[in-house]
Structure 1
Amino acid sequence: MRHFKCLFMIFTLFFANFSIAKADMIIKDIKVEGSQYVAKSTVLNYLPLKIGQTFSFSDSHIVINRIYETGFFKDVRLYQNGNTLIIEVKEQPIIAKIEYKGNLALPDESLDQILNDIQLKKGKIFNPSKLEALKFQLQEFYFSRGYYSSKVTSKIKKLKRNRIEIEINIHEGEVALIRDINIVGNVRFDEKFLLSKMELEATSGALSDDEYSKNQLEADLETIRSYYMDRGHFNFNIKSTEVTISPNKKNIYININQIEGDIYNISTIKLHGTYHLTDKEIRKQFKIKTTDVYSRTKIQKTVQAIKDRFGEDGYAFAIVEVVPTVDEKNKSVSLDFYIKPKQKVFVRRINITGNEKTYNEVFRRELRQMESSVYSPKKMKRSKIRIQRLSYVETVDIKTIRIPNKNDQVDLEVRVKEMPSGSFTVGGAYSSAEGFTFTTNFAQNNMFGTGESFKMGLSKNSVSQNFSMATTNPYWTDDGISRSFSYYYNDTDASEISTTASYFMNSYGVSVNFGIPMAETETIFLGAGYDNTKLGTTISTPDEINSYIDLKGDEYSNIFLSMAYVNDWRNRTIFATEGAKNRLSFNVTVPGSGLEYYKSSYEFEYYYPLSERYTFNFHNNVSYGDSYVDDYGLPFFKKYYVGGVYSLRGYSSSGVGPKDEDGKATGGNLKTTGSFELVFPPAGVDITGPTRFSLFTDFGSVYKEIGDFDSNELRYSAGIAFKWFSAMGPLVFSFAEALNPDDGDKTEVFQFYVGGVF
């Protein structure tokens, strides 16, 4: 035993002396051994050492920790060979596959994005800390949505060649349901009323929103806070919120303890600062005034309005701060607005991104904010609206980018997301009025990325055969004059329509139209065209039509002129949520044409956003036409009809208005229609999506002559509708009840149109 101890002491002293000998070395070379996937240069970049430095092995832990921090290695060792430092590493395995199971509430796409964000994906070097971070993040996700019994586990399967498979197992469990929400401290508003302001609600039935969400609760508390603070409760405070979970983690009880405080009024409003605007001009922007009850929202809107007003003059980054001073004795608040305009800002450069199909110039010509000009929020907003009104743009966003070290300049990044602009379809459509329709359509709204459009369509059903072709250049001239050409051919057998008079008609026509912009939202359209119409009769053709053909003949060639004035400031052309459109049009055949008549129309649309998802829409149309040479009025095939999914829902196509002796519609010279609608996207669908529901009330009628108008003869209906702008064309469905049909009216509760023709 003594000999063994002696040998051990000698061995220890030898290696101690060897370590002392290695304590200081000048590094002449560094070698990395054991690395297969990680480049040696990567290891060297993380080292706190360089060739030529002096290294002491007492600092080895610093070097080893620095390499471990990369997450690429599971073992690191240092050796010395002369003046060469040898780093021996053992790599973490490569991820060959990641599989996840049980994620019903979290879509695969969202989980893929999470994995991508934390760089835990196939082909990457495995980092155990990232796997733990993923599990923690997933657990937080499920907890925040009320899945308190959820569990996230993982399994790692080793493969050959230092590879692994990762299996992530998610047991979601059930969402905890809210059994009771109790509000304490409310005096001015009762508990039931306050609970109605919240999205979360206690279990009350199949349609109740009783699944708990932490994020939604925070949003609901902010809603209650805003409600009080917009009604004078300056000191309102939510003292505490208690969320209690049952032992089985399936039930949740929420207690909200609040302090309403007193109601405060605005006593004085003062402006402070040095600026170019007059106080009178600034006060025009105020949404709140003295003697009003305190309102946080009105103050915030005032601040934004003042910033926007300074922005119109180029002061893009004006600072507006509000300092409230409370007078507890008089229960009032004085507001001091401190305004710092800062520097006037100019736009240096405008970059357009995301346009893979469309030329930059197509978007640039819609911009009202120009490079090297003063920054204007108003022009920015208008530029965004003009771009998003283009039919081949899904979304657009304009981002302001500050330029480092240049406080008076910014760049603008216009981010567009394009949508398909062309389609070629061969298929069918069906309408409740015309039955099955065979269609073949070609459309391209953005020819070769130029913004020009071309459309061609052919359709055939039991009533008619149609062919149409049209092309439009929206910028025929550089200053924005548009030019359109169109051609159509139509062969109609009206005897196949049960609701209208029986006759045959064959017609074709060509036209050219120019749009001349008069102002930002105003355009005048001027056009001319030629059409030819040939008529035929049947045994069932009414005497009125036979008499007309006997007098006027059965074939007419017309040259017509058209004019329209349009004032359109909607924010979108499809599913607008804000703005209005006025259109006044007039068409007339020139004297000497086969038929001498005119048609005029006024159309008004109004859109008002009730919230982010709900829009109020009002639409009204009044149309009138007549002959300008005799008393026969409009040609019978140019008369107006009312009824159907696009004019007066709940009534059959042409189901309202004058009738012949057989009860078939003959149309009239005067038409008026309108509707009130509450429009909203389906639940879970983005507000820019292609589908909408609406609750509506329609009204309208058609009159033989203008003197026959009687508001008591207006028909009304109410119902619900669904519209989808699909690649095949519009799909429209409506359920409506005719509210006051006359004995001769024809009604339809369910109406639809599927497909589209040009």
Structure 2
Amino acid sequence: MLKPHRFVPKTAVAAAIAFHGLMAHATTPFVVKDIKINGLQQIEAGTVFAYLPIKQGDTFTDEKASEAIRALYATGFFNDVRIATEGDVVVVNVAERSAIASIDFAGLHEFEKDALLKALKSVGLSQGRYYDKSLLDRSEQELKRQYLTRGFYAAEITTTVTPVDRNRVSILFSVAEGPSAKIRQVNFIGNKAFSTGTLRNEMQLSTPNWFSWYTKNDLYAKDKLTTDLENVRKYYLNHGYLEFNIESTQVSISPDKKDMYLTLTVHEGEPYTVSSIDLAGNLLDRGPELRKLVKIKPGERFSADKLQTATKAIVDKLGEYGYAFATVNAQPQIDQQHHKVALTLQVDPSRRVYVRRVNIVGNTRTRDEVVRREMRQLESSWFDSSRLALSKDRVNRLGYFTDVDVTTVPVEGTADQVDVDVKVAEKPTGAITLGAGFSSTDKVVLSAGVSQDNVFGSGTSLAVNVNTARSYRTLTVTQIDPYFTVDGIKRITDVYYRTTQPLYYSTDSSFRIVTAGGDLKFGIPFSEVDTVYFGAGFEQNRLSVDSATPQSYKDYVTDFGRVSNNVPLTIGWSRDSRDSALVPSRGYYTQANAEYGTPAGGTQYYKADLNAQYYYSFARGFVLGLNFQSGYGNGLSGKPYPIFKNYYAGGIGSVRGYEPSSLGPRDKSTNDPIGGSKMVVGNIELTFPLPGTGYDRTLRVFTFLDGGNVWGNVGNSVGSNGLRYGYGFGLAWISPIGPLKLSLGFPVTKHAGDQYQKFQFQIGTAF
């Protein structure tokens, strides 16, 4: 059924005219024998009868006629409604309003058609609705508004309405977009304490630069300006300027609508220092403990951020003791004459509560137990804000949900109970991936995978992955059960098949190592951030040599054969406190692993690996990253260290500026790098935002200093005379296909036989 539209003014006038005509020719009342509807084209007669207040058998009067006209006009279906009589038959003559057959655009470049159709629908204009000239005017204004948000102030909209068959119309919006208006100047008036350049750095909006095509920050937007003004205000408040005020904001545009100018007039006032800071209210006999959380000291410059941090720390601490509704209000006493401020933090712990129930909401596929086992806030225990925050982080880290919201709801009728509602929004956890890439070392790389991170809602993951890089081809099947036991012991099962060509870049040899095997590992959590791993496996290594294979590999095959079996036992430990695994800015990550080749496999050896990363953000957007990795291996019971377990160094992710895997010992006969049993690599990397992009963490530049090398038994090898160092700069981008890293590296000192590669790139690397 067609829906009625609003009663518009022109229909009201028409109804009044019809009513006046009806009253001028009064009709003698009669009983309606029949009703006829004339003029219908698209609307069903039944729809009209449903709105018509006159029925067969009713007594027809002038008042009934007026009521019928008003009712039919009110539907919005008709441009004209007239009622006549033929004896005892009522004749309703209508003229339908035109319906919108189609909406199209011409001249679009900045917007997608679907985006504008959605915007027009929000103001009531869409295909299938009735045509209304006033609605068309609002639609033109909405289109102009959409262009204004993108900086197109010269955009012009021309509308063409074309009648088509069956009383319908086609609407065409012709757009002359014109040039986008760029911000040419951002000026501050009245700033003395901080330079205009310093204040501009606190803003998103900026003048055009060489990377504006990516950031779009040179296009004026009112919401961005509002955010920028708040950022400038925060900057002053964090430096003690309590009297700061933005007196006026002027936005002007050039006559040709191509250039925009922003002028901000500010009143700075004088900086204030903290004369004293006290805690008042109910401190629960924990005054000394709470005072330690306040980092603002008398004599320091006032800082709004430090004050907010102090109040939040006190609220969180009280929350750890069960006071879920604690509040801390800062009460400043300002001494304008001496530019000092005395702060009093009024503490109100409210009441202590315990958690009655933990409710899981929104998990239509994931089982309740998968979420509940991550909860560190237990039912029937005192409320603890730190455990609640940890619970939310752990549920988030599952990766099964797009959003996790944890709220505390008081229980009606009680003063000391709350319920905790954990509301989750599930996301698809299965994926089929097909990928292709190009590496400066592996050339064309193809990959495919099928994974399900939450099989049947149980929290167990299963993945099959294929990689076709020329130097390293893999087929792996991995199954992870994060709660193999109720105590949270993780089980990891791997089955793999790998083909490695370690000499692919440096020789014409077809030498390759084919490895097939599997392993079983168990991860035992010892704390919220520490996990210890134990595992065992079996693998078989086949070495395929030819005449061009380095002598070192030939000798190994001569002594131990082309096939080597290996039964390794592994033990490891990891700790991760980084704020982000993808773009870390603070925290550290440590991982240590040890592997022992048992006599049951025919090879006897041991190897130990250590990887440590540390990140420190010392300025807004600037991150110092330190990375250290080392490995050491040796043979046991008189047997040499297996050559297929050798370490390699050089290239991106190691020592940049050198060819991948080119450092370390080289074969005497072919001078090819063959790796070694000992490896040390260190990296120092300074990352900062790309100039002109603000503080975008997805696109950054970096400088680096790398050092490291690989050593091994002398035997048939030469080289490894000391550490190698490289320095340079690069670009890191979190692209739609994964983390991308480009680097330009240069060796510090050059040694005979070293192989250099200045430009390198890789997808999916951390250092």
Q: Which residue of 2 aligns with 1:751?
A: 760
1:452 Cα deviation after fit: 2.0
- The secondary structure found in structure 2 opposite 1:228 is helix
Helix, strand or coil: the match of 2:757? coil
User: Would the aligned equivalents of 2:404 and 2:422 in 1 still touch at CA under 8 Å?
Assistant: no
**CA pair 172-568 structure 1, distance change in 2 beyond 3 A:** same
- Structure 2 partner of 1:626: 634
**Which letter maps to 1:253?**
Y
- Residue type of the partner of 2:314? I
Distance (whole Å) between structure 1 residues aligned to residue 45 and residue 300 of structure 2 = 71
Give the secondary-structure state (helix, strand or coil) at the position aligned to 1:178.
strand
Native 8 Å contact 2:490 2:523 kept in 1:
yes
Post-superposition offset of 1:656: 1.4
| Kept in 2: contact 1:589–1:597 (CA 8 A) | yes
Deviations along 1:137-184, whole A, 9 cap, x unmatched? 333343354332223343333444443333333333222233433322
CA distance in 2, matches of 1:102, 1:446: 45
Residue 471 of structure 1, CA deviation:
2.8
SS of the residue corresponding to residue 603 of structure 2 reads: coil
Q: Which amino acid aligns with 2:433?
A: S
Q: Aligned residue for 1:671?
A: 679
Residue equivalent to 1:704: 711
Partner-residue secondary structure (3-state), 1:418: coil
The equivalent residue for 1:8 is none
Q: Deviations over 1:182-230 (max 9, x none)?
A: 3221222233443444443456778695443333333333332222221
* Aligned partners of 1:494 and 1:501 also within 8 Å: no
- The 3-state SS of whatever aligns with 1:667 is coil
Distance 2:91 2:323 in 1: 61
- Check conservation: 2:41, 2:167, Cα contact below 8 A: no
- Residue 5 of structure 1 corresponds to which residue in structure 2? none
Contact 1:679 1:692 in 2 (8 A): no
Letter in 1 for 2:663: V
Moved more, 541-550 or 90-99: 541-550
State the secondary structure of the residue aligned to 2:297: coil
Q: Deviations over 1:453-479 (max 9, x none)?
A: 132537484x67654433333333343
Q: Secondary structure at the match of 1:421?
A: strand
Counterpart of 1:138 in structure 2 is 143
Q: Summarize the alignment of residues 601-620 of structure 1 with structure 2, pairs less than 5 Å apart.
A: 601-607=609-615, 617-620=625-628
Q: Give the aligned residue type for 2:109.
A: L
Instruction: Give the distance between the partners of 2:620 and 2:430, measured in 1 at CA.
Output: 25
- Give the residue type in structure 2 aligned to 1:522: D
Equivalent in the alignment of 2:657: 650
In structure 2, relative to structure 1, the CA distance for the partners of 1:609 and 1:206 (3 Å cut) is closer
- CA distance in 1 between partners of 2:423 and 2:712 (Å): 56
- In structure 2, the CA distance between the partners of 1:491 and 1:199, relative to structure 1 (3 Å rule), is closer
Matched position secondary structure for 1:215: helix
**Which amino acid in 2 is paired with 1:738?**
P
- The residue that corresponds to 1:660 in the other structure is 667
Deviation at 1:600, TM superposition (A): 0.8
Distance 1:169 1:711, change over 3 A: farther
- Map 1:405-420 onto structure 2 (within 5 A): 408-409=418-419, 411-418=421-428, 420=430
Question: Where does residue 179 of structure 2 map in the other structure?
Answer: 174
Counterpart selection for 2:125 from 120, 128, 135: 120
Equivalences for residues 589-604 of structure 1 within 5 A: 589-591=597-599, 593-604=601-612
Instruction: Determine which of 227, 230, 242 is the counterpart of 2:238.
Output: 230
**TM-score, with structure 1 as normaliser:** 0.78
Aligned residues: 725
Q: Determine the structure 2 residue equivalent to 1:27.
A: none
Amino acid at match of 1:294: F
Q: Is the 8 Å Cα contact of residues 488 and 510 (structure 1) preserved in structure 2?
A: yes
Say if 2:255 is the partner of 1:250.
Answer: no
Work out whether 1:289 is the aligned partner of 2:289: no
Amino acid of the structure 2 residue aligned with 1:657: G
Q: How does 1:324-335 map to 2 (within 5 A)?
A: 324-335=332-343
1:682-693 → structure 2 map (5 Å cutoff):
none
Give per-residue Cα distances to partners, 1:669-716, cap 9 Å, x unaligned.
22122432638799999989xx76653525232342699999972422
State how far apart, in whole Å, the 2-side matches of 1:366 and 1:596 are: 41
Q: 1:449 to 1:694 in 2, by over 3 A?
A: farther
Q: Give the counterpart letter for 2:366 in structure 1.
A: Y
Q: 1:248 to 1:36 in 2, by over 3 A?
A: same
Question: What is the distance in 2 between the residues matched to 1:731 and 1:71?
Answer: 57
Q: Does structure 2 retain, via aligned residues, the 8 Å contact 1:501–1:664?
A: no
Q: What is the CA–CA distance in structure 1 between the aligned matches of 2:376 and 2:289, rounded to whole Å?
A: 24
Of 619-628 and 477-486, more deviation after overlay is shown by 477-486
Q: 1:693 to 1:298 in 2, by over 3 A?
A: closer
- Distance change >3 Å, CA 45–CA 748, structure 1 → 2: farther
Matched, 1:713 2:720: no
- Residue aligned with 1:297, SS: helix
Could you state the TM-score of these two structures normalised by the residue count of structure 2? 0.77
- C-alpha distance in structure 2 between counterparts of 1:401 and 1:90, whole Å: 59
CA contact (8 A) 2:520 2:535 kept: yes
**Contact 1:509–1:529 (CA under 8 A) maintained in structure 2:** yes
8 Å CA contact 1:658–1:702 kept in 2: the answer is: no
Q: List alignment gaps of at least 5 residues for structure 1.
A: 1-11, 23-29, 49-55
Tell me: CA distance 1:116–1:346, structure 2 relative to 1, closer, same or farther (3 Å). farther
Cα distance, 1:598 vs. partner?
0.7
Separation in structure 2 between the aligned mates of residue 684 and residue 167 of structure 1, nearest angstrom: 38
Alpha-carbon distance, 1:563 to partner: 0.8
Q: 1:721 to 1:235 in 2, by over 3 A?
A: closer
State the partner residue of 1:26. none
- Structure 1 partner of 2:7: none
Letter in 2 for 1:678: T
Give SS of 1:186's match: coil
Work out whether residues 270 and 336 of structure 1, in 8 Å CA contact, stay in contact via their aligned partners in 2. yes
CA distance in 2, matches of 1:155, 1:405: 61
Q: SS of the residue aligned with 2:145?
A: helix
Code of the aligned partner of 1:556:
S
